Structure 1
Amino acid sequence: MALLATTPPYTITTRTSAATPCSASSSRSRSLRAPGRSAASRAPRAMAAPGADSAAVAAAATGGSAPPSLLVFSGGTAFNGVVEELKKVTTQVVHVLPVSDDGGSTAEIVRVLGGPAVGDIRSRCLRLSDESTLEALSVRRLLGHRLPLDSSEAKLEWYQIVEGEHSLWDGVSRPYRETIRAFLVYFHSEILRRSVETFCFTNGSIGNFFFAGARIFFQSLDAAIFLFSRVSQIPAESLVLPVISTNDRLTLGCELWDGTIIRGQNEISHPSNGHREVVNKDCNSCTALPSSIKRVFYMSSEGSNLLHEVFPQANQTVLEQLSKVDCIVYAMGSLFTSVCPSLVLRGIGETIASRSIPKVLLLNGSHDRETIGLCASGFVTAITDSLNRTYGDPDKSLKNHPKDYVNAILVPIGGQIPLDVENLASKGIFHVITVESVVDEKVGVIFDPQSLIQALTGLIPGQMDSLQPDCLTENAKFAC
C-alpha cells in the first residue's frame, strides 16, 4: 500500500523511508502511519479467528479504544467480498443499499408482487449472518440457495423446500424451521393469489422469497429487514438500511449526455433483452451505451406518464447515522446504479458535506458498461454531481465542492481506471492510496480484502488530519 499525493505543481510523490513517521511499509499487510501517534496506536490491527467475540476483536483491533464506525454506500455484490474481513475489525457498520434493482430473481418478485427490490439487502444480510454454529451455517445455506436455471426443475425444487421436504432443512432446528417456512408459505400463497401472473422460479433466491413474504406480511420493509437480521443472527450493531424506506415499487432511470433516457436499473447496467439469466456486468458482455451517463434519478412506476421524475424521501435513519459515524465510504461496484441512487436523495448531500470526517472512495479495479472512458476524477465528479443533484431540479441542487464529499481514494494496484492526479488535486483531493490487489477470474482486478480494510481503518479520525502533502517528499512514478 503506498500513499500518493499531489502538491503544486502536482508532482506524484510517495514516502519510502521506513524511518520516517509517515512511511509506507513494503510488506503485504502494510498500513498507514501518521506523525505523533503513540506506540500503542501504531500496533498492527488484530485479526481474529472465525467465531471470536466481536467486542474482544474490536478492542484488540483498536488498541483497547472504541471500534470505528463506518457508513458504506454500496450495492449488494462488489462490497460483499470484504464484509468478512471488515467484521474482524468492527461490526459498527451501517450498510446503505438501494431498493431499485429490477433484474434477476428480484425482477420476478417485483413484477408479480410489486414493492421495492430486496435482492441487494438480502445479499448483504447473508454476508453479515452468523457462521459460528452448525445451525447458523444451515440457515445461511438455506437462505443463500438459488433454484436451478431450468424452469421445471426450479419449480419442483421450490415445492420440496416450501413443503419442508428438501435436504436444505437438515440442521435447522424446529423453531427456526417453522419461522422461516411460515414466511415461505405466505410468499407462495401470495403468488398463487395473483392467478393472472405466472411466477417463474428460475434461478430464484430462497432468501429473496423469504424476504418478500415477510415484507408483504408486515407491510413494512423495515420489519422484514429486522426479521431477516434476527433469523440470520446479524450483530446488533451492524445495520442494513434501505436508502428509501418504502413498501412501494421504485424505478431507477438515467439520462445520457446525448439526451437519451433509459428506464430501469437492469437496462442501464446489464440489459438482458428479456432473457432471465445470471447477471454479467462486464463491459464486454453487452452493448455499449450510446452516450455516457449524465445523471440517475427516480421515475414514476404508475400512471400513463412513466417517464415522470419523482422525488422519494431518504430514509431518516440513514440521515441520522450519517451524522454519527466516523467514516463514510463510497464502495466499489456499479457506480451509477449501485452507489449514485443512494446519493441523489435530498438530505444526503447536505449531511455528508457538513461532516469533517474521512470520506473515502474505493475505486473500481475495472470498467463496466456504466463507466467506460471514466478516469478517477470522473468517478469523483459523478459522486459530486449526484450529491449536489446538479442536473435535476435547480431548486433542489447544491453547490458543494468535490472535496466536501471525497477526501481520500483507495486504488487497487493494477486496476484499469486511470489515476489523473492533477485533476484530482484541482478538486482538492490529495490523498490517493494504492492497495494490494488480487485477480478474480470473473471480474478482473479487485482489492485484496485484508489490505483494503487495513488501509480503510487507517484513515479513521486521529490519522487522516496528519496525512498532509507536505510530509511526502520523495518523487516516484506511478503506473496502474
Structure 2
Amino acid sequence: MNEIRSRAGTDGPHIVILAGGTASRNLTITLIRQGVRVTRLVPAWDSGGSSKSIREALHILPVGDIRQALMTMAYAEGHAGDVVRIFNARLSETGNAAALARELAFYAEGTHPVIKAMKPEIAEAILRYLRVFITAAGPGFDLRRGSIGNFILTGALLAEAGDINAAILAFKSLCGIAGNVWPVSQDRDLTLRAVLKDGRSIEGQHVITALGDEEAAMGIATVVLGAATANPRALAAIADADAIVYGPGSFFTSILPHLLVEGIAAAIARAQAPKILVGNMLEDRETRRLSVDEMAERVRHAGAGQPVLSHLLAHESAVPGERVVGAARFVARAARSLPDIAVIARDFEDPWHRGQHDAGLLAAEILQLSAEGVRHAR
C-alpha cells in the first residue's frame, strides 16, 4: 500500500477521463496504480437518488458523481480506510423522520466508531460539514437512503460559499488525494433532456437512464443540455492531457453530454492528445441496438465538425452470433473503418467478469496511444 501512495501523483502521463461516477472505476484504479496521473471530469446534471433530493432542497450542483469519483481516487491511492467507509455509507431506506434524524446524528455527533478512529483534523472537518448540511437542509428534508458522503460534500460546498472547486480541494487536502476530480461545469441547475426518434422528449438524467421498454425500443435521436459553461479546472485539465478518454459509461447521460458544455469540445479539439472512445460492451436502455461505430459517429457529430475523436477501442468477440449477459446483449461489432478514426478492435472482455471491460487491457491501449501521441507532438 505504501508503494501505491508513493507512486500516485507522479510525473507520469496525464489521462483525462470523461464519464460518470462508477462505470470507469476499474480503469481509474488500474491507471493510478501504474503511476499515471488521472483527472476525472464528471457530469453536473445528475438528477437521481440522494443527489436529486439535495438539488431540489438546496438548489446546488449535484455532488453524487463527484463523491463516487473522489472515493475511487482515494481507494486507488491507498486511502481506502475510514474516510471511504463513511463516505460510502447510507441511511436506512425506511423509517420515520425522527428515526432517520437519530441515525444521521450518530454520524454528525461523532458517535460512529469509524469517525472516532479517524485523524482528529479529518474527523473535525467531516463533523463540521455534516452539521452545515443538517442546518441548511432543515427538519423537512427527506433523509431516506441518504448518502453520508453526499451530505458531507454538500456541507463542504455550502461552507465554501457554493464554490465546488474549493470544496473538492479542501477534501483532497484533508485526505492527501493526488488525483483530480472536477465537474465539467459549475452551473447549478443543468437538466439533461433526451429527444426520442419519434420526437418525444424525456427530461432528467435519472429518467433517461431508466427508459421504458417502448422508449428504449424507439431509441434516442439526440440529447440536449441547455446553456452550460465549462469549469475552468476542466479546461485546464484537457489542455494538459496526454490522452483524453470518453467512458466507459452510460453513453447518452454520462459521456456524450460533456461535449454539449460550452468550451469543452473546442478545448478537446485544440488538445494535442489522442481522443479515445471506449466503446460500450453491453447494451443498456439508452443504447438499444446502437452499435459502437454509431456511438463514435454521435461523438463526432457532438463535436460540431471539430476533431474531438481520434481512436475507438471496440470489443470484438471471437464467439459468433449474439451473446447475452443477464438481460443485456453485447453491442454489435464496430465497423472496421471509420473516416479519420483509428479503430482498435480486440477482445476487451474481462475473463473473470462477463460483460465487463478488462481494465488492464484498456489501460495498456490508452497508455500506448498516449506515448505515441507524445512522440508525434515533438
TM-score, normalised to structure 2's length?
A: 0.87
Kept after mapping to 2: 8 A contact 1:410/1:435: no
CA distance in 2, matches of 1:407, 1:464: 14
Corresponding letter in the other structure for 2:184? V
Which residue number corresponds to residue 126 of structure 2?
180
Kept after mapping to 1: 8 A contact 2:245/2:278: yes
CA distance in 2, matches of 1:438, 1:240: 26
Change (3 A) 1:290 1:347: same
Corresponding letter in the other structure for 1:258? D
Correspondence for 2:152 among 181, 188, 210 = 210
Q: Secondary structure at the match of 2:127?
A: helix
Kept after mapping to 1: 8 A contact 2:46/2:64: yes
Which residue number corresponds to residue 323 of structure 1?
239
Higher CA-based Rg:
1
Which residue number corresponds to residue 429 of structure 1?
341
Superposed CA offset, 1:30-71 (max 9, x none) = xxxxxxxxxxxxxxxxxxxx3315565787xxxxxx511111
Kept after mapping to 1: 8 A contact 2:48/2:205: yes
Kept after mapping to 2: 8 A contact 1:145/1:205: yes
Correspondence for 1:141 among 75, 85, 88 = 85
| More helix per residue | 2
Q: Secondary structure at the match of 1:105?
A: helix
For structure 2, list consecutive stretches of 5 or more residues without a partner in the other structure: 318-322, 324-329
Q: Say how many residue pairs are matched.
A: 362
Shift of 1:148: 2.2
Which residue number corresponds to residue 408 of structure 1?
311
TM-score, normalised to structure 1's length?
A: 0.70
Change (3 A) 1:94 1:56: closer
Which residue number corresponds to residue 289 of structure 1?
216
For structure 1, list consecutive stretches of 5 or more residues without a partner in the other structure: 1-49, 60-65, 272-284, 299-309, 389-398, 467-480
Shift of 1:79: 0.4
Correspondence for 1:263 among 179, 203, 206 = 203
Correspondence for 1:242 among 163, 172, 183 = 183
121-130 vs 345-354, which moves further: 345-354
Corresponding letter in the other structure for 1:319? L
Change (3 A) 1:82 1:229: same
1:88 aligns with 2:36: no
Correspondence for 2:360 among 412, 434, 450 = 450
Q: Secondary structure at the match of 1:421?
A: coil
Superposed CA offset, 1:189-246 (max 9, x none) = 1111xx5xx32222211110001111122221111111222233211xx221111123
Kept after mapping to 2: 8 A contact 1:329/1:360: yes
Q: Within 5 Å, which residues of 2 pair with 1:85-124?
A: 85-124=30-69
Correspondence for 1:200 among 111, 129, 142 = 142
Corresponding letter in the other structure for 1:174? P
Q: Within 5 Å, which residues of 2 pair with 1:337-352?
A: 337-352=253-268
1:73 aligns with 2:18: yes
How many percent identity over aligned positions? 26
Q: Secondary structure at the match of 2:356?
A: strand
Change (3 A) 1:159 1:450: same
Shift of 1:131: 7.3
For the aligned residues, what is the CA RMSD? 2.6
Change (3 A) 1:181 1:52: same
CA distance in 1, matches of 2:2, 2:202: 45
Kept after mapping to 2: 8 A contact 1:130/1:234: no
CA distance in 2, matches of 1:455, 1:151: 48
